[in-house]
């Protein structure tokens, strides 16, 4: 099946970022000063502005979201082989940050409808070795933070809040990224705010702030003995060029959040009545959907995801499959980190039947309408 694209005969990618006028002004200013490395003034400006926006005291800008998670886990200073609970339905970065720090990742299944980690499953996995939970907000809706925080306080467990996909999102009118003892973000090209590559760590804890700053910068010694390093760190610094762009992007965050919700709502209004698929609603009990991506779950077994993705591609529509669950990852099975026999039925079902549609800030309403028309013709 192929329907001629009337708008323009070109491919619609999964994401097209929005570059603002202020981004270009800031980058040119940065170039003109010559401060293009991590020592420039835009880095501190971005850290301060972003932490203030998310109601946190301290911000540490880093090279990407994975770096942010790795630093966050190590900065907490847990004893080796501590257990940290993570969702199996997520990007591999969560597991890597735990494994690289010498700890044990413990997996939990996700909820079938909001796709976040199940609080009930988290309860089952907590034991005396559990030191933290990486609370990852997945795709559009936040994790239920009231329930999680209540559970963690009762068990004396720390929350590492992974808000990579939730810049500008709120849970009960409070910013996602403001709940964790330490929180992380990503500024990859498909995120609400982008610096091309980049990430941020936020915390209210000054010791964690100082430790995270040191870890991102090779753990250099003091001014009198700079090249005598006091720990094993990384070169995970953000450049001034990236931060300059981040400052420009952040000035447009209100427009970005509004537009993302408009994109999701437009898709939802045209696909919600198709009984062969599930698209997340516009809101739930504690949040509005920010639609970082517009996820589609095939619920009629006669449709096979592989075939659907091929049909969409033939019609110039880009797609991306959902996260491949951690317990099924080739490398982790080879390393024997997770029990091969353990099943996580919701995560497996969602991966096997889930994909997302173009939803970047550069998409037009006409393109959304075209995609929905194709979707409803395929799923009939």
Question: Over the stretch 166-184, which tens digit does the pLDDT of each residue have?
Answer: 999 999 999 999 999 999 9
**CA gap 39, 368 in Å, rounded:** 42
Query: Edge to edge, what strands does the sheet with 130-136 contain?
Result: 58-62, 199-203, 182-186, 158-162, 130-136, 83-87, 104-108
For 142, other C-beta atoms within 10 Å of its C-beta total: 29
**CA gap 252, 49 in Å, rounded:** 12
Report whether 87 contacts 136 (CB < 8 A).
yes
- pLDDT score of 191 more than 70: yes
**CA gap 4, 371 in Å, rounded:** 12
| In the chain, domain spans | 21-250, 253-378
- Residue 137 has a pLDDT of 98
Contacts of 24 (CB under 8 A, 6+ apart): 248
- Residue 7 has a pLDDT of 53
Decide whether 21-250 matches 253-378 in CATH topology.
no
**CA gap 360, 367 in Å, rounded:** 11
CA 202 from chain centre, in angstroms, equals 15
- pLDDT score of 20 more than 90: yes
- Give all strands (DSSP E) within the chain, no chain letters: 58-62, 83-87, 104-108, 130-136, 158-162, 170-171, 174-175, 182-186, 199-203, 277-279, 294-298, 320-321, 354-357
253-378 belongs to which CATH class? Answer: alpha beta
For 125, other C-beta atoms within 10 Å of its C-beta total: 16
Question: Over the stretch 275-334, which tens digit does the pLDDT of each residue have?
Answer: 999 999 999 999 999 999 999 999 999 999 999 999 999 999 999 999 999 999 999 999
- Residue 4 has a pLDDT of 54
| Average per-residue pLDDT for the chain | 95
- Residue 2 has a pLDDT of 53
CATH of domain 21-250: 3.40.640.10
Question: Over the stretch 199-241, which tens digit does the pLDDT of each residue have?
Answer: 999 999 999 999 999 999 999 988 788 899 999 999 999 999 9
Beta bridge partners of 298: 277
In this prediction, residue 341 has a pLDDT band, given cuts at 50, 70 and 90, of: confident
Q: Torsion angle, CA of 221/224/228/233, rounded to 10 degrees? A: 20
For 354, other C-beta atoms within 10 Å of its C-beta total: 22
pTM: 0.95
């Amino acid at each position: 099946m192929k329907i001629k694209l009337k708008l323009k005969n070109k491919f619609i990618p999964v994401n097209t970022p929005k570059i603002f006028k202020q981004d270009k002004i800031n980058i040119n200013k940065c170039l003109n000063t010559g401060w293009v490395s991590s020592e420039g003034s835009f880095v501190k400006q971005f850290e301060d502005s972003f932490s203030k926006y998310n109601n946190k005291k301290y911000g540490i800008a880093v090279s990407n979201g994975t770096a942010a998670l790795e630093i966050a886990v190590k900065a907490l200073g847990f004893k080796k082989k501590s257990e940290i609970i993570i969702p199996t339905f997520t990007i591999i970065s969560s597991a890597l940050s735990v494994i690289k720090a010498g700890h044990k990742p413990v997996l939990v299944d996700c909820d079938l409808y909001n796709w976040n980690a199940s609080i009930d499953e988290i309860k089952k996995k907590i034991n005396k070795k559990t030191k933290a939970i990486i609370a990852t907000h997945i795709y559009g809706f936040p994790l239920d933070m009231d329930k999680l925080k209540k559970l963690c306080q009762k068990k004396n467990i720390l929350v590492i809040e992974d808000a990579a996909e939730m810049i500008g999102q709120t849970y009960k009118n409070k910013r996602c990224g403001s709940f964790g003892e330490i929180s992380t973000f990503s500024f990859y090209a498909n995120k609400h705010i982008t610096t091309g590559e980049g990430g941020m760590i936020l915390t209210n804890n000054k010791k964690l702030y100082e430790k995270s700053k040191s870890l991102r910068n090779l753990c250099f010694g003091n001014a009198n003995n700079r090249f005598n390093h006091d720990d094993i760190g990384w070169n995970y610094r953000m450049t001034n060029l990236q931060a300059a762009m981040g400052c420009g992007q952040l000035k447009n965050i209100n427009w970005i959040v509004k537009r993302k919700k408009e994109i999701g709502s437009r898709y939802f209004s045209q696909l919600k009545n198709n009984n062969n698929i599930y698209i997340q609603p516009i809101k739930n009990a504690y949040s509005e959907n920010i639609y970082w991506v517009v996820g589609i779950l095939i619920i009629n077994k006669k449709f096979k995801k592989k075939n659907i993705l091929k049909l969409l591609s033939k019609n110039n529509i880009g797609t991306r499959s959902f996260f491949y669950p951690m317990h099924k990852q080739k490398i982790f099975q080879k390393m024997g980190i997770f029990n091969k026999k353990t099943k996580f039925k919701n995560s497996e079902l969602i991966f096997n039947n889930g994909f997302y549609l173009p939803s970047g800030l550069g998409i037009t309403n006409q393109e959304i309408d075209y995609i929905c028309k194709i979707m409803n013709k395929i799923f009939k």
